[in-house]
């Protein structure tokens, strides 16, 4: 019996292009920034819980500012893209 010809394996450049297309949309710095924002949010809610007063200074003045700032920070962290360092010809 004759053996069947071997199938050609796909070339490496095509495989790398497919891997790049499946790359994660956010980088490590984005996830770190999101984690920091989440920690600030958790800390603000924890501070309000520990204060146990609706009219307390933390609940009325500090926590609203930190919560809004943390939510804005998370939106910025999602949209942030680091600048690419390309050398320009002289």
Between residues 16 and 31, which one has the greater pLDDT?
31
Decide if 67 contacts 41 (C-beta within 8 A): yes
Would you state the pLDDT for residue 42?
Answer: 98
pLDDT of residue 34: 97
Q: What is the pLDDT of residue 58?
A: 92
| Domains in the chain: boundaries | 25-79
Rounded distance between C-alpha atoms, residue 18 and residue 48, angstroms: 48
**pTM of this prediction exceeds 0.75:** no
Tell me what pLDDT residue 41 has. 97
Mean pLDDT over each residue of the chain, to the nearest integer: 84
Place of tokens 């770190």: 32
**pLDDT recorded at residue 12:** 58
């Amino acid at each position: 019996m004759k053996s069947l010809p071997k199938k050609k394996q796909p070339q490496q450049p095509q495989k790398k292009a497919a891997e790049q297309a499946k790359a994660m949309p956010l980088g490590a710095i984005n996830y770190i920034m999101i984690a920091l924002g989440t920690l600030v949010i958790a800390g603000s809610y924890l501070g309000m819980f520990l204060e146990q007063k609706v009219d307390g200074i933390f609940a009325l003045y500090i926590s609203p500012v930190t919560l809004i700032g943390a939510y804005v920070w998370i939106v910025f962290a999602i949209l942030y893209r680091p600048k690419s360092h390309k050398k320009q010809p002289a």
